[in-house]
Amino acid sequence: MNVENMRRLIKHLESPVNPIKFFMGKYFLHNEYDIFTKSEVLSIVEEHACGTTACIAGHAAYLAWKEDDVGADPLDAWADPLKGEGFHIIVHVAREWLDLDKRQTQSLFMGYWQEGPIDEVTKEVAIKHLKSMVDKEVK
């Protein structure tokens, strides 16, 4: 796990000026439209973030792309949201940036660490869980 990037993600989520709202029910959503690629995410957030929400993976992918910390985005070329392929980009980028293994990825992004529906997870609960993951990693 990349502890430095996990801490960046926590700081981003805690920031009162974060332009992206938190919602675990969607990877990245602007008004009623799912967003999947680097160019779409950066454009939407920079131009009109109002109405934009993202889950933990969406926020992590945004930071990775914003910091240009994951290299080129070859997945933009094959993303086809109509075929349900686009969400793989968000997960792939977030997983790479946070350096998570498969178990950590599934648990964190699918909300397996909490009880109840994933779309009811609050930002505060997610931050608490991210901090516990960092604490376990640095011990």
Mean pLDDT by 10 residues, the chain (139 residues): 96 87 82 73 74 86 81 46 55 90 89 85 93 93
> Which residues neighbour 78 within 8 Å (Cβ) at sequence distance 6 or greater?
85
Is the entire prediction scored with pTM above 0.85?
A: no
Phi-psi region of 31 (alpha: psi -120 to 50; beta: other; left: phi over 0): left
* Model pLDDT, residue 3: 97
